C-alpha cells in the first residue's frame, strides 16, 4: 500500500505542477491605500489567495517629555483585511499594556467602537530549544482579532504604569513611569483570501488510485503531501474525513487500512476508543499549503490534550469559520514566523471540528500551542473568546468527541492523569515532570487566562463525556 501511495503521490505532483495557477476572482474595488508609510505587503504571487499588510507603529504623543509612551497608527485607509494583530521583534518580550483597535467595514463609512486585543500571547509557540523556535524568524505577538471585511483601521497601544521608589534627602518618594514597550511594534492586517482554488488536471488521470474528482485541488507537492497524510481515512483531495460510529471505528483499527497505527497502538486503543468524529480537512477549510514550511514534525505519542480559545472574538458566523482559520494560519506563519498553524485541531461555535497543523489527524504531530508542553500532546483551539462568554453545548460536545477518539488511539483515559516533561516556561522549569489532567486547559501548563474562565469551567464535563464515549 505504501508503495502504491508513494507512486501515486509522485504522479499527482507531476500532473499538478504542470498546471498553471490561475488567479481567484478579482476583488471588488475599494478605497486605495496611501502609498506613503504603507508598510509592506506579502504578495508572493497574485495567483495565491490571501495577503498580509505590515504597518509600523509610531509614537502618538506630541510631547515625549510628558512621559506618554503610547504608540499606534492614526486612522487610515488600507487594503481589505479581516483579521489583525500586533507583532514585535523579540518573541521572549511581553507587551505590558493595552492594545485597542477600531475598524471600518469595507465599502462603508461607519467606524466600530474601540476593541481590546488580547496582549498575552507569549504562552503560545514552539518549545524553547526546538528548530522552530530557533529559526530566527519567530516574533512576539498579541492574539489575532477577527473584525470582518474591513478597509480602514486605527490602533493605539498604551503601556502599563510601573512604580518605583527612590531615596532622596527628604526621604523616600514613589515615581511612576510607563513600562517600556517591545521594540519593533507592527500592525499586521490579514486578508485570509478565498479557499485555495481547485484545478482539474488536463486529460485522464494517470493512476486508478487518483481519479480526477479527488485530485482537482491538489496543485502542489505540499497539497498532495498534506492530503496524503490522511489517505488511510479519506480519499486524496477530500474536504472532510467522515464520521464513524464506535463499532466502525474499532473495525477500522484492526483492518489492513489502519496503516499508520502500529499493532501496539491498536491493542492499547481497543476497546477504549470513542467513535471517530467528522473532521474538515485542511483542503476543506482552504489552506494554501505553499504558505507553511514543507514536511511534518512528529513526537512519540499523544498523552494529553490542551484546550485553548483563539481569543479572536465571537463575532463570526459559523459559515465564516474557514476564513477565520485561514486568517489565523497566515498570522501564525507569515506574521509570527511559525512553520504552520500552531494548533492540531480547531472547533467552531457550531461544533464543527477542523484539522489544524499538517501531518495527519491520527498521528502525533508536533504543534506550537502550549509553550513548554508541545511534546507528546495535542492542542485543540475553540474559535472565539471565552473569558466571559459561555461556550455552547455543541462546542463542549465536539471537544469530548474529538478527545475520546484521538486520545483513544494512544490508549489515554480522558478522565485520567498523566506526566509530561516541561520544555521550559513560566510555571515549570525545563526538564521537570509535571502531573496534569489528560484533558487540560492551557493555563494548567502556563500562567495564562487561556482558554478563558468560562471554557475552562466546562473541561470537567468534557472529560466525563469523552470517557463515556470511550466506553469507560
* CATH classification of the domain holding 340: 3.40.80.10
Same domain flag for 186 and 217:
no
150 located within any domain:
yes
Give the DSSP letter of residue 198: P
On whether both 233 and 346 belong to a single domain, the answer is yes
Of 379, 262, 266, give the one whose Cα is nearest residue 332.
Answer: 379
Where is the domain boundary, 134, 161, 191? 191
Statement to judge: residues 318 and 280 lie in one domain: yes
Q: Which residue has the higher pLDDT, 19 or 343?
A: 343
* 236 and 378 fall within a common domain: yes
- Decide if 199 is inside a domain: no
pLDDT at 247 over 80: yes
Q: Which of 39-53, 186-200, 378-392 has the highest mean pLDDT?
A: 378-392
Predicted pLDDT at 199: 38
Tell me whether residue 24 is in a domain: no
Residue 257 lies in a domain: yes
Claim to verify: residue 169 and residue 231 sit in the same structural domain: no
pLDDT at 152 over 80: yes
Number of domains in the chain: 2
Tell me the three state secondary structure of residue 14.
helix
- Out of 191, 220, 243, a domain closes at 191
**268-277, 376-385, 441-450, range with greatest mean pLDDT:** 376-385
Are residues 293 and 434 located together in one domain of the fold?
A: yes
Q: Are residues 250 and 387 in the same domain?
A: yes
More confident position, 379 or 166? 379
Domain end call among 156, 191, 226: 191
Q: Higher model confidence: residue 329 or residue 16?
A: 329
147 and 228 share one domain: no
All cell numbers assigned to 179: 513600562
Residue 245 shares a structural domain with residue 360 = yes
The answer to whether position 43 is within a domain reads no
Output the CA–CA distances (angstroms, integers) from residue 330 to 38, 156, 216, 340, 440, in the order listed: 20, 23, 23, 8, 27
- The reply to whether 168 and 236 lie within a common domain is no
**Co-location of 286 and 144 in the same domain:** no
In this prediction the pTM is: 0.84
Pick from 70-84, 183-197, 207-221, 369-383: least confident? 207-221
Highest mean pLDDT among 24-33, 42-51, 144-153: 144-153
Region 33-56 average pLDDT: 59
d(C-alpha 418, C-alpha 279), whole Å:
26
Q: Is the pLDDT of residue 15 over 70?
A: no
- Structural domain of 301: 212-469
The burial class, CB within 10 Å (0-12 / 13-18 / 19+), for 112 is: middle
Q: Could you tell me which residue, 175 or 465, shows the higher pLDDT?
A: 465
Residue 34 within a domain: no
Give pLDDT, residue 179: 86
* Mean residue pLDDT across the chain: 83
423/232: higher pLDDT: 232
pLDDT beyond 90 at 46: no
- List Cα–Cα distances, 259 to 1, 262, 301, 403, in angstroms: 9, 8, 16, 21
pLDDT for the residue numbered 289? 95
Instruction: State yes or no: pLDDT of 374 exceeds 50.
Output: yes
Question: In this structure, is residue 45 part of a structural domain?
Answer: no
State residue 211's pLDDT score: 40
Rounded to an integer, the average pLDDT of 364-374 is: 93
Residue 32 lies in a domain: no
Amino acid at each position: 500500500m505504501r508503495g502504491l501511495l508513494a507512486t501515486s503521490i509522485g504522479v499527482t505532483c507531476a500532473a499538478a505542477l504542470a498546471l498553471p495557477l490561475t488567479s481567484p476572482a478579482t476583488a471588488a474595488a475599494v478605497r486605495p491605500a496611501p502609498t506613503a508609510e504603507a508598510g509592506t505587503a506579502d504578495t508572493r504571487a497574485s495567483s495565491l489567495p490571501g495577503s498580509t499588510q505590515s504597518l509600523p507603529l509610531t509614537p502618538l504623543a506630541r510631547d515625549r517629555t510628558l512621559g506618554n509612551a503610547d504608540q499606534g497608527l492614526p486612522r487610515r485607509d488600507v487594503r481589505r483585511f479581516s483579521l489583525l494583530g500586533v507583532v514585535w521583534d523579540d518573541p521572549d518580550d511581553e507587551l505590558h499594556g493595552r492594545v485597542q483597535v477600531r475598524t471600518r467595514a469595507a465599502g462603508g463609512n461607519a467606524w466600530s467602537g474601540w476593541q481590546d486585543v488580547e496582549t498575552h500571547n507569549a504562552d503560545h509557540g514552539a518549545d524553547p530549544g526546538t528548530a522552530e523556535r530557533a529559526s530566527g524568524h519567530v516574533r512576539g505577538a498579541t492574539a489575532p482579532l477577527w473584525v470582518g471585511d474591513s478597509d480602514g483601521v486605527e490602533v493605539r497601544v498604551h503601556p502599563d504604569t510601573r512604580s518605583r521608589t527612590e531615596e532622596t534627602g527628604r526621604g523616600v518618594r514613589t515615581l511612576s513611569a510607563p513600562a517600556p514597550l517591545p521594540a519593533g511594534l507592527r500592525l499586521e492586517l490579514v486578508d485570509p483570501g478565498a479557499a485555495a482554488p481547485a484545478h482539474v488536471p488536463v486529460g485522464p488521470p494517470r493512476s486508478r488510485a487518483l481519479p480526477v474528482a479527488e485530485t482537482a485541488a491538489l496543485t502542489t507537492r505540499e497539497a498532495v503531501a498534506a492530503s496524503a497524510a490522511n489517505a488511510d481515512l479519506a480519499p486524496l483531495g477530500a474536504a472532510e474525513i467522515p464520521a464513524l460510529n464506535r463499532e466502525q471505528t474499532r473495525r477500522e483499527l484492526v483492518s489492513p487500512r489502519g496503516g499508520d497505527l502500529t499493532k501496539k497502538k491498536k491493542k492499547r486503543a481497543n476497546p477504549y476508543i470513542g467513535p471517530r468524529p467528522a473532521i474538515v480537512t485542511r483542503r476543506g477549510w482552504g489552506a494554501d499549503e505553499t504558505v507553511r514550511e514543507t514536511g511534518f514534525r512528529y513526537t512519540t505519542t499523544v498523552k494529553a490534550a490542551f484546550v485553548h480559545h483563539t481569543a479572536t472574538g465571537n463575532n463570526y458566523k459559523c459559515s465564516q469559520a474557514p476564513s477565520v482559520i485561514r486568517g489565523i494560519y497566515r498570522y501564525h506563519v507569515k506574521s509570527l514566523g511559525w512553520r504552520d498553524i500552531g494548533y492540531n485541531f480547531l472547533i467552531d461555535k457550531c461544533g464543527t471540528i477542523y484539522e489544524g497543523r499538517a501531518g495527519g489527524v491520527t498521528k502525533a504531530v508536533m504543534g506550537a500551542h502550549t509553550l513548554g508542553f508541545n511534546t507528546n500532546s495535542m492542542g485543540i483551539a475553540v474559535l472565539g473568546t471565552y473569558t466571559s462568554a459561555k461556550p455552547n453545548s455543541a462546542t463542549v460536545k465536539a471537544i469530548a468527541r474529538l478527545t475520546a477518539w484521538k486520545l483513544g488511539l494512544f490508549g489515554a483515559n480522558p478522565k485520567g492523569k498523566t506526566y509530561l516533561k516541561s520544555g521550559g516556561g513560566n510555571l515549570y522549569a525545563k526538564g521537570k515532570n509535571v502531573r496534569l489532567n489528560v484533558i487540560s486547559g492551557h493555563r494548567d501548563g502556563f500562567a495564562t487566562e487561556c482558554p478563558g474562565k468560562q471554557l475552562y469551567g466546562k473541561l470537567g464535563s468534557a472529560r466525563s463525556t469523552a470517557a463515556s464515549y470511550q466506553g469507560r
